[in-house]
Homo-oligomer: A and B are copies of this chain.
Amino acid sequence: MLKSVDLIISPRWILPITPRDTVLEHHAVVVHQGKIIDVCAQSLLAERYVANEEVVLREHVLMPGLVNLHTHAAMSLMRGLADDLLLMPWLEKHIWPAEQQCVSSQFVYDGTLLACAEMLSGGVTTFNDMYFFPESCIQASSHIGMRAHVGLVVLEFATNYALDANSYIEKGTATRDAYKAEPLVTFSFAPHAPYTIKDETLSKINVLAEQLDLGIHTHMQETMHEVSQSQSTYGLSPLKRFANLGLLNSRSVLAHCVHLSEADMQLLADYGCHIAHCPTSNLKLASGIAPITQFAALDVNIGIGTDGAGSNNRLDMFAEMRLAALLAKGKSGDATAISAHRALEMATINGAKALGLDQVVGSIEVGKFADLTAIKMTDLSLQPCFDVASHLVYVAGRENVSHTWVAGQLKYHKPDANTGVFSNVEPHDLLQIAQSWQRKLAAFSNNI
């Protein structure tokens, strides 16, 4: 007897992420009540299921929705407000005064909504946020329908949001209590950075995080200056100080981690911490390049984040995946470092794992939520295509995303191809030509 299901998606290729290094062709994802209940050959569908809705994507790759592991979503409204500046003038003369002037509950709602629209249209289904007025972030992300891991931000100084560390903590815990039943929302504590938080406050956060069963999201060792300052103030690296205060564990998500000693790296590995690698932001603010091939060699879990639009200025996980893979090669001198498949894992399952969500999202597996992204592979600039995984990282861009689902609900789609018009060339003809050469080259390449 046929089973009645909500949705069947039949793409040309599926990149499930788990199992590793796998590309399925002519398979389908079967979705019921928001979850993936089967991944099977398309030829088996007729004998197994009857679907309320079928989406046939003959020219597309289907992959898990991307997980953006470090954002300040509402800062999208400050995109490009001040660029090409040193870190301190950028913060002191532009970002902080603008925040003081403008940041409000409404600002955070509007900015998060804009960021979510940008991220959904670029295939991102989950983001790990840290900003003021987290309740407004939740309202916006819930409205547009994205999965949000919301950091309850803590600082020592007064802002439009709160007056002192205790008031940040109180407001944060109240927000968590008010919204803990939201289906797409989870929480962490987000002490802003080692250099903005006192030991006493960090200890308090540590106790509360354990009581409330929350992880930690913070900025860590982004600049050399921050590390040397910590050494002279505390006689410890920021990481060692966090370790001593009990804040490093398998639920700690550390953004940046650009400047680390060997001992610092070993701490990451020993405590099972997670890295939110933000390659564009680290270059743009001249912080440097995080040594992710060394982290990977120690089996440290590495996800990828865009950071906020103030320091990136695109919330574009395709660009970050590509840059992460490219920089790893350029920095290590090894062109095999961080392959396309590893970069895709970083942007999906690794990010989910960092947030404690790897049992529910981050790969296309039975039992997980149907957080899915489809990428249309027919644009001329994607021709020819010998290897789908390599194309997703080195060739495709977020502009090729055609559909984004969260928990089985279609949250974004682009209705037509919009290939563009040339005066002297017919794109369809050129597509045919490219595909015919691809067949010749592929046949030969397989024979080597």
Contact = CB atoms under 8 A, between A and B. Distances in A.
Interface string A316-331: 1001000100110110
A291 to B, nearest CB: 13
Given A122-B381, A394-B313, A434-B77, A448 B415 contact: no
A409 B385 contact: no
Interface stretch (A247-255, A268-276, A424-432): A424-432
Contact of A144 (B286, B415, B425, B438): B425
A95 to B, nearest CB: 10
A335 B86 contact: yes
B329 A424 contact: no
Q: Which of A87, A332, A384 has the most CB of B within 10 A?
A: A384
A114 interface: yes
A414 B417 CA distance: 11
Contacts of A287: 330
Interface string A362-389: 0000000000000000001101111100
B84 A390 contact: yes
Given A77-B441, A314-B395, A117 B336 contact: no
Nearest to A437: B77
Nearest to A396: B314
A76 B395 CA distance: 11
Contact of A84 (B118, B339, B412): B339
Contacts of A85: 335-336
A98 B391 CA distance: 19
A93 B448 CA distance: 7
Nearest to A323: B323
B390 A80 contact: yes
B422 A94 contact: no
A167 to B, nearest CB: 25
B409 A423 contact: yes
A412 B422 CA distance: 4
A262 interface: no
A83 B118 CA distance: 29
Contacts of A421: 412-415
B425 A77 contact: no
Given A81-B445, A82-B445, A118-B380, A283 B330 contact: yes
Given A83-B340, A391-B80, A144 B414 contact: no
A54 interface: no
A246 interface: no
A445 to B, nearest CB: 6
Given A145-B423, A424-B411, A441 B289 contact: no
A410 B421 CA distance: 10
A145 B84 contact: no
A211 interface: no
Contacts of A444: 97-98, 101-102
Interface stretch (A30-38, A59-67, A105-113, A295-303): A105-113
A412 B423 contact: yes
Interface pairs A-B: 10 shortest CB-CB: A283-B330, A399-B399, A283-B326, A418-B418, A286-B335, A84-B339, A414-B420, A83-B390, A286-B329, A118-B381
Given A90-B335, A111-B437, A286-B333, 5 more contacts: A79-B384, A98-B444, A145-B424, A313-B390, A323-B323
Interface of A: 76-87, 90, 93-94, 97-98, 101-102, 107, 110-111, 113-114, 117-118, 120-122, 143-145, 280, 282-289, 312-316, 319, 323, 326-327, 329-330, 332-337, 339-340, 380-381, 383-387, 390-391, 394-395, 397, 399, 409-416, 418, 420-425, 427, 430, 433-434, 437-438, 440-442, 444-445, 448
